[in-house]
Amino acid sequence: MGNQTLAGKTMKRRDFLKLSIAGLATTTIAATTMRNKASGPVGDSPHKWAMVIDQSKCNGCGYCVDACRACNDVAPDKAWTRLIAQEPEEERDVYLPVPCMQCADAPCVDICPVGASYYRPDGIVMMDYDKCIGCRYCELACPYHARSFNWKAFTEGNPAVPDWGQPEVARRPRGVVEKCAFCYQRIDRGLAMGLTPGVDEQATPACVVACPPGARVFGDLNDPESQVSQLLAGNCSYRLREDLGTEPRVYYLPVQAEEEAACHDNV
């Protein structure tokens, strides 16, 4: 039956045009909205917070994890900052404390469908727990396993309280993803009181305050006199997975400072 089979049909110009316009419109809309990089932090803030962790000082005590759990009301089966034991080097143990990297080009901010993950002008990647729908796309996207989902509600008492601190932020409900936010509540509160985050304990993230050997240092990269700036200027440092281009705000001072390899982009 000849003239209506698909293969033998000669398309009218009108139909071809219709199809092409549809395809073109589709591609254009898709291409312009699908720029997969949300803009980074807009520079409205004089501060640029960063953390430097000196691995030669970290002894793996885990006090940072406990203090964070107390001050941010984190459940015992979660950790916003994790402590990884690495291979011992030169007969000493090596530990890697990993908070949220607060990336300047964060994959989690780009892909959150409701924009619950967003940049603050001072560089902190914030979570809006009221917007989050719990789709866990950010958990897939984060290269550092920094995010944890509330599979169940945390209703019990927090065992880290009161020894390690008091909760300073609201507890998250079931069904949302949570992560470290550089204790923004302490930073904001401290700035309002005229304190300096990184110098004054009340304005500094809980993990930094709790660290007994002082391995964690916090401060403002925009201030050349701050401890973080000076540490980074004077020492060899590295960041995790720099090859991904996430531009993390957490720097590490390696255990053996003389190791050249640790200064360059790691594998």
Partner 1 sequence: MAQDSPPECLACHTTGYDAATHTWEEEGVGCSTCHEMGPNSTHHPEQVMPVNRSPEACGTCHVDTHEDWAMSKHGEEDLACVKCHNPHTAELKKENVQEVCIDCHNEESYFYAFTAHSQEGMICTDCHFQVSETPAGEGHGKLVHTFAVDLNNCNQCHEHQMHSTSSDAAFMGTMGTAMGGAEGEGVAGVTPCEALDTLQQARNDIVFPDQIDSNVLAPEPPSGLAPLSFVLPMVFGLALGIVVTPLAERAFRRVQI
Partner 2 sequence: MSRQRLGFLRNSFTWWVAFLLLLIVSGLAAGILVFARGLQVTNLTDLVPWGLWIGIDLSSIALAAGAFSISAIVYLLKVKKLLPVAKTAVFLGLIGYTMAVLTLLLDIGRPDRFWHAMAYWNIHSPLWEVTMCVTLYLAVLTLEVTPIVGNSDIMQNRWPKMGRKMGSVHKLAPVLAVVGLCLSMMHQTSLGVTYGVIRARPAWDRSSLAVLFIVSAVAAGPAMVIFASHVAARMTSKAKINQDLLNTIAKYIGWVLIVYLFLRVWDLLYLSFSTDPGRGDSLFYLTQGPLAVNCWLGEMIIGIIIPIIILLVPHWRQNPRLQMLAAAMVVIGLILYRWDTNMVGQMVVFSYLPQATTPLFTSYLPSFVEIAAGLGVVAYGILAFTLGVRYLRVVDHTEVHEHETAQPMPVPMLSGD
Of residues 75-94, those binding partner 2 (CB under 8 A):
84, 86
Separation between Cα atoms, residue 187 and residue 129, nearest integer Å: 19
Instruction: Select 58 or 116, whichever has its Cβ closest to partner 1.
Output: 58
Residue whose tokens read 């045009």: 17
Site residues for partner 1, window 205-224 (CB under 8 A)?
210, 212-214
32 to 71: interface string for partner 1, x by CB under 8 A: ---------------------------xxxxx-xx-----
For the CB of residue 92, give the shortest distance to partner 1 in the complex, in Å.
7
Separation between Cα atoms, residue 104 and residue 246, nearest integer Å: 6
Among 119, 149, 182, 251, binds partner 2 (CB under 8 A): 149
Separation between Cα atoms, residue 84 and residue 29, nearest integer Å: 44
Give φ, ψ of 119 to 5 degrees. -85, 140
Q: Would you count residue 148 as binding partner 1 (CB under 8 A)? A: yes
Give φ, ψ of 93 to 5 degrees. -70, 145
Query: How far, in whole angstroms, is CA 262 from its chain's centroid?
Result: 22
For the CB of residue 98, give the shortest distance to partner 2 in the complex, in Å.
7
Among 9, 43, 159, 212, binds partner 2 (CB under 8 A): 9
Among 61, 83, 111, 221, binds partner 2 (CB under 8 A): 111
Paired tokens of 111: 């892909």
Separation between Cα atoms, residue 106 and residue 249, nearest integer Å: 11
Q: Would you count residue 60 as binding partner 2 (CB under 8 A)? A: no
